[in-house]
Amino acid sequence: AFRVLEDAIVQRESDMDVAVVLGVGFPDFRGGVVRYARDRGLGHVVQRLEALAERHGERFAPNGLLRRLSGAGSRRD
Protein backbone atom coordinates (compact mmCIF):
# COMPACT_ATOMS: atom_id res chain seq x y z
CA ALA A 1 0.00 0.00 0.00
CA PHE A 2 2.77 2.44 0.87
CA ARG A 3 4.55 1.62 -2.40
CA VAL A 4 1.38 2.50 -4.29
CA LEU A 5 1.21 5.79 -2.38
CA GLU A 6 4.89 6.53 -2.92
CA ASP A 7 4.54 5.86 -6.66
CA ALA A 8 1.54 8.25 -6.74
CA ILE A 9 -0.76 5.58 -8.18
CA VAL A 10 -3.27 6.84 -5.63
CA GLN A 11 -3.07 10.28 -4.06
CA ARG A 12 -4.58 9.75 -0.62
CA GLU A 13 -4.33 7.10 2.06
CA SER A 14 -8.11 6.95 2.20
CA ASP A 15 -8.21 6.08 -1.53
CA MET A 16 -5.85 3.18 -0.89
CA ASP A 17 -7.99 1.98 1.99
CA VAL A 18 -11.18 2.05 -0.08
CA ALA A 19 -9.43 0.18 -2.90
CA VAL A 20 -8.25 -2.68 -0.70
CA VAL A 21 -11.57 -3.00 1.12
CA LEU A 22 -13.70 -2.99 -2.03
CA GLY A 23 -11.24 -4.52 -4.49
CA VAL A 24 -9.29 -7.08 -2.48
CA GLY A 25 -11.67 -7.84 0.35
CA PHE A 26 -9.56 -6.44 3.20
CA PRO A 27 -11.79 -6.48 6.31
CA ASP A 28 -13.79 -3.25 6.33
CA PHE A 29 -13.92 -3.15 10.12
CA ARG A 30 -10.14 -2.56 10.02
CA GLY A 31 -10.69 0.55 7.90
CA GLY A 32 -8.26 -0.47 5.16
CA VAL A 33 -4.64 -1.52 5.10
CA VAL A 34 -3.18 1.95 5.71
CA ARG A 35 -5.55 2.64 8.59
CA TYR A 36 -4.73 -0.78 10.05
CA ALA A 37 -0.99 -0.07 9.77
CA ARG A 38 -1.43 3.30 11.50
CA ASP A 39 -3.56 1.72 14.23
CA ARG A 40 -0.88 -0.95 14.83
CA GLY A 41 1.84 1.68 14.75
CA LEU A 42 3.97 2.35 11.68
CA GLY A 43 7.16 1.62 13.61
CA HIS A 44 5.79 -1.80 14.52
CA VAL A 45 4.86 -2.45 10.89
CA VAL A 46 8.36 -1.47 9.74
CA GLN A 47 9.90 -3.89 12.26
CA ARG A 48 7.65 -6.74 11.15
CA LEU A 49 8.36 -6.09 7.47
CA GLU A 50 12.10 -5.99 8.13
CA ALA A 51 11.87 -9.38 9.85
CA LEU A 52 9.87 -10.78 6.93
CA ALA A 53 12.39 -9.37 4.44
CA GLU A 54 15.21 -11.03 6.33
CA ARG A 55 13.48 -14.41 6.18
CA HIS A 56 11.70 -14.26 2.85
CA GLY A 57 13.39 -11.69 0.64
CA GLU A 58 13.50 -8.03 -0.22
CA ARG A 59 9.98 -7.87 -1.62
CA PHE A 60 8.81 -7.57 1.99
CA ALA A 61 11.19 -4.72 2.86
CA PRO A 62 9.45 -1.50 3.92
CA ASN A 63 9.73 1.24 1.33
CA GLY A 64 11.05 4.76 1.82
CA LEU A 65 7.68 6.41 2.41
CA LEU A 66 6.73 3.96 5.14
CA ARG A 67 10.12 4.39 6.80
CA ARG A 68 9.84 8.19 6.69
CA LEU A 69 6.30 8.21 8.03
CA SER A 70 7.17 5.78 10.82
CA GLY A 71 9.99 8.05 11.98
CA ALA A 72 8.12 11.32 11.61
CA GLY A 73 4.75 10.25 12.95
CA SER A 74 3.18 12.40 10.24
CA ARG A 75 0.01 12.06 8.23
CA ARG A 76 -0.12 12.13 4.48
CA ASP A 77 -3.88 12.27 3.95
Residue 72's pLDDT band (cuts 50, 70, 90): low
50, burial (CB in 10 Å: exposed 0-12, middle 13-18, buried 19+):
middle
Average pLDDT over residues 9-35: 97
pLDDT of residue 50: 96
Q: What is the mean pLDDT of the chain?
A: 93
Which pTM does this prediction carry?
0.83
Residue 77's pLDDT band (cuts 50, 70, 90): very low
* Rounded alpha-carbon distances, angstroms, from residue 3 to 10, 24, 29: 10, 16, 23
pLDDT > 60? residue 9: yes
Q: Which domains does the chain have, with CATH numbers?
A: 2-72 (1.10.1040.10)
List all residues 6 or more positions away from 30 whose beta carbon is below 8 Å from its beta carbon. 36, 39
Q: What is the rounded distance in angstroms from the CA atom of residue 8 to the CA atom of residue 61? A: 19
